[in-house]
């Protein structure tokens, strides 16, 4: 209970920190909308040439694009989450401050990042999605239960995304400069989450593999729940499995990191 | 040295910290080298003491502090803070200690100061009444009232430091570690911080371990000082005793009626500088100036004189230099 309130406070702080920067949020909304427009016309051309590509009809494909834009910053698929800050703290030694606190490092950053993700969902996600819904034919469910299931899938996607980025950030304990790892993670995330193209478009073994990787929990899984292409329980189980595995791995790496840590700077 | 770990509130017995440093010596070739950042340090600090912990850069000060908070595990020796082994029970210890790293901040950069305090409230599970009482006290003494709603990134360094000190004290820690709390502050801010710490120690009996490069911090706050260099304790005792250890000298500045050859002063005093009618005589800080003044006054036409106290910085530099060359 006591620590629950702490992490709730941390999450609230994470939310407010991002809410502070209104101009950045507005710029982000604009960017996501423009990106969405570009991708939508690309997809429309593709689905025109190849109707029912990957099992989606045109409206579903368009919906997928706007979902992607709504979740891009929420799931920090293009970067911009807590990981840059954590890596910077490891590099400068400010991590010492985090380590002597009576709080768990992983839970602390998870809470902070969930707060951030929630803000990004509301602040940067809703407007581009609404724009897409107004100006393009999209396929959305009517039932509240489908939307509820979608939100659960998004929440699980946030945790999976955190789990991946936590590992990326911890690499800074060994590498000092995590730029390379961040870029690799960014590239993998863009492709493997379905941000570039829905994963069900990819044929054969490649498709099987990317659909089994943790990144597919991020955009593909919530999208398929919303579009009615995947059952909620199975999707949740897949996402939760990856979330737990990644968090457990993160914990393992964290204990190795803090044991060998040479806190930088005097 | 045999230290009874039960005797002190902070107790170290032969504590060592060895880092493995790997150096690249060629393509794929690496040389492993061990660096003894802390090399067998023993001391105890009683409850309510305020102790200065000084030494040059890289002496092992911060490494010691990090071991005392539990974020670094000692390679050897034993240490206890409030009866707790820091590395083993870091979280339990965290509730008993407050830490301020002058060059780092525990505050939330983007948010108003008060948000960070609310977080401390939850993190340390401070009872509501206690939290309000401590916050009010810190706000009053550290003059934070107008700053509470200001985002931390907009605070000046001095304001931020006061904010950090308050953050470290909201949970009533028994021990406060301060790592360069006045670094980069102007004279007024330094004075405020020192004044607050003096009161904290006097009224609450908080044990304070103060690491600093600013010897005025030590002179104004600490009755006891420990000097560390190359990971070893060089001196542990009252501030005054440092002068003896460093064989420090006071200076008698004499203005004569006219230019004269260097004064023939009784040993061990000696003239170190002559500039027109003004002469500088150095003599051991442990000796009285009266005898020397009388001897000079008896034989030379004096206009004016003054005695200058030894510069403690010079004293410590001398200790470092001696031990290093030894």
Q: What is the pLDDT of residue A260?
A: 66
Residues of B whose CB is below 8 A from A10: 119
Is the Cβ pair B90, A17 closer than 8 Å?
Answer: no
Q: How far, in Å, CA of A152 to CA of A144, rounded?
A: 12
H or E element at residue A65:
helix A58-72
Whether A57 and chain B come into contact, CB under 8 Å, resolves to: no
Instruction: Please indicate, yes or no, if residue A82 is contained in any of the structural domains.
Output: yes
Whether A4 and chain B come into contact, CB under 8 Å, resolves to: no
Q: Which residues contact B251 (CB under 8 A, 6 or more apart)?
A: B272, B280, B281, B282, B283, B307, B308, B310
By CA distance, what is A93's nearest residue in B?
A: B104
Is the Cβ pair B123, A103 closer than 8 Å?
Answer: yes
Grouping H, G, I as helix, E, B as strand and the rest as coil, residue B177 is strand
Q: Are strands B249-256 and B97-101 parallel, antiparallel or unpaired?
A: unpaired
Candidate from B95, B118, B151 with C-beta closest to A102: B95
Tell me chain B's radius of gyration from C-alpha atoms.
24
Is the Cβ pair A266, B61 closer than 8 Å?
Answer: yes
**What's the pTM?**
0.83
Query: What sign has the CA pseudo-torsion B136, B140, B142, B146?
Result: positive
Put residue B82 in one of left, alpha, beta given phi > 0 → left and psi -120 to 50 → alpha. left
Residues of B whose CB is below 8 A from A102: 91-92, 94-95, 123-124
Q: How far, in Å, CA of A238 to CA of A28, rounded?
A: 30
Q: What is the pLDDT of residue A65?
A: 96
**3-state percent breakdown (helix, strand, coil) of chain B, nearest 5:** 35, 30, 35
Instruction: Please indicate, yes or no, if residue A240 is contained in any of the structural domains.
Output: yes
Q: How far, in Å, CA of A20 to CA of A11, rounded?
A: 14
Q: Which of A263, A266, A246 is nearest to A162 (CA)?
A: A246
Average pLDDT per block of 10 residues along chain B, 326 residues long: 61 90 73 85 94 86 90 91 91 92 88 94 94 94 93 92 93 92 84 90 92 84 90 87 74 87 83 88 83 86 84 71 61
Is the Cβ pair A96, B111 closer than 8 Å?
Answer: no
Residues of B whose CB is below 8 A from A5: 122
Low-confidence ranges of chain A (pLDDT < 70): 1-2, 260-266
Q: What is the pLDDT of residue B323?
A: 60
* Tokens read off for A108: 């602390």
Is the Cβ pair A102, B91 closer than 8 Å?
Answer: yes
By CA distance, what is A260's nearest residue in B?
A: B72
For residue B278, how many other CB atoms are within 10 A of its CB? 14
DSSP for residue A195: S
Q: Which of A238, A66, A248, A68 is nearest to A156 (CA)?
A: A238
Q: How far, in Å, CA of B44 to CA of B81, rounded?
A: 10
Q: How far, in Å, CA of B207 to CA of A30, rounded?
A: 55
Nearest CA distance, B306 vs chain A (angstrom): 40
For residue B130, how many other CB atoms are within 10 A of its CB? 14
CA distances to A1, A73, A82, B4, B296 from A14, rounded to whole Å, are 20, 14, 9, 46, 72
DSSP for residue B112: B
Q: Which backbone phi and psi does B102 adopt, to 5 degrees? A: -55, -30
Instruction: Please indicate, yes or no, if residue A108 is contained in any of the structural domains.
Output: yes
Residues of A whose CB is below 8 A from B24: none
Largest CA distance in chain B: 76
Q: What is the pLDDT of residue A264?
A: 44
Residues of A whose CB is below 8 A from B97: 100
Whether A102 and chain B come into contact, CB under 8 Å, resolves to: yes
Q: What is the pLDDT of residue B112?
A: 94
Q: Which residues contact A155 (CB under 8 A, 6 or more apart)?
A: none
Determine the length of chain B.
Answer: 326
DSSP for residue A123: I
B318 close to B247: Cβ distance less than 8 angstroms: yes
Instruction: Please indicate, yes or no, if residue A266 is contained in any of the structural domains.
Output: no
The residues that bridge with B100 in the sheet, in sequence order, are B178
Q: What is the pLDDT of residue A179?
A: 85
ipTM associated with this complex: 0.83
Whether A13 and chain B come into contact, CB under 8 Å, resolves to: yes
Interface residues on B facing A, Cβ-Cβ cutoff 8 A: 19, 57-58, 61-62, 66, 69-73, 90-92, 94-95, 97, 99, 101, 103-106, 108, 110-111, 115, 118-119, 122-125, 151
Instruction: Please indicate, yes or no, if residue A92 is contained in any of the structural domains.
Output: yes
Give me the helix-helix angle, A179-192 and A144-170, nearest 10°: 150
Q: Return the number of CB contacts < 8 Å for A and B.
A: 70
Q: Which backbone phi and psi does B279 adopt, to 5 degrees? A: -130, 145
Q: Which of A111, A81, A162, A104 is nearest to A9 (CA)?
A: A111
A141 close to A228: Cβ distance less than 8 angstroms: yes
Largest CA distance in chain A: 62
Residues of A whose CB is below 8 A from B103: 265
Residues of B whose CB is below 8 A from A20: 110-111, 151
Is the Cβ pair B71, A261 closer than 8 Å?
Answer: yes
Q: Which residues contact B149 (CB under 8 A, 6 or more apart)?
A: B112, B113, B114
Whether A175 and chain B come into contact, CB under 8 Å, resolves to: no
Q: How far, in Å, CA of A69 to CA of A228, rounded?
A: 19
Whether A188 and chain B come into contact, CB under 8 Å, resolves to: no
Instruction: Please indicate, yes or no, if residue A263 is contained in any of the structural domains.
Output: no
A73: domain range?
Answer: 3-258
A88 close to B98: Cβ distance less than 8 angstroms: no
Q: How far, in Å, CA of A265 to CA of B102, rounded?
A: 12
Q: How many structural domains compose chain A?
A: 1
Instruction: Please indicate, yes or no, if residue A245 is contained in any of the structural domains.
Output: yes
Is the Cβ pair A96, B94 closer than 8 Å?
Answer: no
User: Quick check: bond before B268 cis, omega within 30?
Assistant: yes
Nearest CA distance, A258 vs chain B (angstrom): 8
Tell me chain A's radius of gyration from C-alpha atoms.
19
Query: What sign has the CA pseudo-torsion B10, B178, B149, A114?
Result: negative
Instruction: Please indicate, yes or no, if residue A106 is contained in any of the structural domains.
Output: yes
Residues of A whose CB is below 8 A from B69: 100
Put residue A79 in one of left, alpha, beta given phi > 0 → left and psi -120 to 50 → alpha. left
Residues of B whose CB is below 8 A from A9: 118-119, 122
Q: Which of B65, B51, B118, B61 is nearest to B93 (CA)?
A: B65
DSSP for residue B156: -
Full DSSP string of B184-216: T--HHHHHHHHHHHHHHHHHH--EEEEEES-HH
Q: How big is the CA angle at A70 (ends A68 and A72), to the nearest 5 degrees?
A: 60
Nearest CA distance, B281 vs chain A (angstrom): 40
Q: What is the pLDDT of residue A49?
A: 94
């Amino acid at each position: 209970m006591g620590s629950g309130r702490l992490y709730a406070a941390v999450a609230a702080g994470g939310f407010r920190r991002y809410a502070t920067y209104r101009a950045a949020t507005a710029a982000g909304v604009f960017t996501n909308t423009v990106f969405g427009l570009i991708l939508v016309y690309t997809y429309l051309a593709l689905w025109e040439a190849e109707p029912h590509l990957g099992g989606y009809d045109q409206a579903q494909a368009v919906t997928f694009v706007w979902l992607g834009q709504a979740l891009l910053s929420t799931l920090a698929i293009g970067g911009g989450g807590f990981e840059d800050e954590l890596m910077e703290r490891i590099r400068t030694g400010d991590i010492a401050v985090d380590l002597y606190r009576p709080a768990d490092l992983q839970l602390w950053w998870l809470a902070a990042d969930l707060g951030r993700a929630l803000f990004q969902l509301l602040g940067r996600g809703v407007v581009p999605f609404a724009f897409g819904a107004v100006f393009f034919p999209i396929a959305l469910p009517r039932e509240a239960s489908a939307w509820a299931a979608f939100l659960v899938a998004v929440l699980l996607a946030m945790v999976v995304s955190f789990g991946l980025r936590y590992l990326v950030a911890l690499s800074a304990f060994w590498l000092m400069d995590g730029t390379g790892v961040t870029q690799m993670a960014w590239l993998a995330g863009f492709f493997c989450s379905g941000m570039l193209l829905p994963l069900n478009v990819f044929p054969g073994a490649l498709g099987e593999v990317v659909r089994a990787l943790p990144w597919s929990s991020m955009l593909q899984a919530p999208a398929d729940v919303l579009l009615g292409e995947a059952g909620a329980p199975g999707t949740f189980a897949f996402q939760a499995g990856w979330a737990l595995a990644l968090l457990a791995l993160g914990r393992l790496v964290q204990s190795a990191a803090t044991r060998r840590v040479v806190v930088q700077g005097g | 040295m045999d230290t009874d770990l039960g005797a002190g509130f902070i107790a170290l017995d032969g504590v060592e910290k060895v880092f493995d440093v790997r150096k690249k010596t060629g393509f794929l070739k690496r040389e492993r080298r061990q660096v003894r950042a802390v090399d067998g340090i023993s001391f105890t600090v009683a409850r309510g003491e305020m102790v200065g912990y000084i030494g040059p850069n890289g002496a092992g000060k911060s490494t010691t502090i990090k071991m005392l908070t539990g974020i670094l595990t000692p390679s050897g020796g034993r240490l206890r803070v409030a009866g707790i082994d820091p590395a083993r029970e870091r979280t339990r210890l965290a509730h008993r200690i407050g830490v301020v790293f002058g060059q780092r901040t525990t505050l939330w950069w983007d948010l108003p100061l008060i948000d960070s305090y609310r977080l401390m409230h939850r993190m340390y599970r401070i009872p509501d009444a206690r939290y309000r009482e401590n916050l009010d006290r810190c706000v009053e003494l550290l003059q934070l009232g107008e700053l509470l709603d200001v985002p931390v990134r907009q605070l000046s360094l001095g304001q931020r430091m006061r904010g950090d000190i308050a953050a470290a004290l909201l949970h009533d820690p028994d021990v406060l570690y301060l790592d360069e709390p006045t670094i980069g502050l102007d004279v007024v801010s330094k004075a405020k911080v020192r004044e607050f710490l003096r009161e904290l120690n006097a009224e609450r009996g908080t044990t304070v371990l103060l690491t600093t490069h600013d010897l005025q911090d030590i002179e104004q706050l600490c009755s006891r000082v420990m000097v560390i260099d190359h990971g070893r304790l060089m001196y542990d005792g009252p501030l005054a005793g440092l002068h003896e250890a460093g064989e420090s000298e006071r200076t008698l500045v004499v203005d004569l009626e006219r230019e004269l050859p260097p004064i023939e002063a009784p040993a061990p005093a000696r003239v170190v500088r002559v500039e027109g009618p003004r002469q500088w005589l150095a003599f051991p800080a442990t000796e009285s100036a009266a005898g020397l003044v009388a001897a000079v006054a008896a034989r030379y036409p004096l206009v004016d004189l003054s005695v200058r106290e030894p510069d403690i910085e010079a004293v410590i530099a001398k200790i470092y230099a001696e031990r290093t060359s030894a």
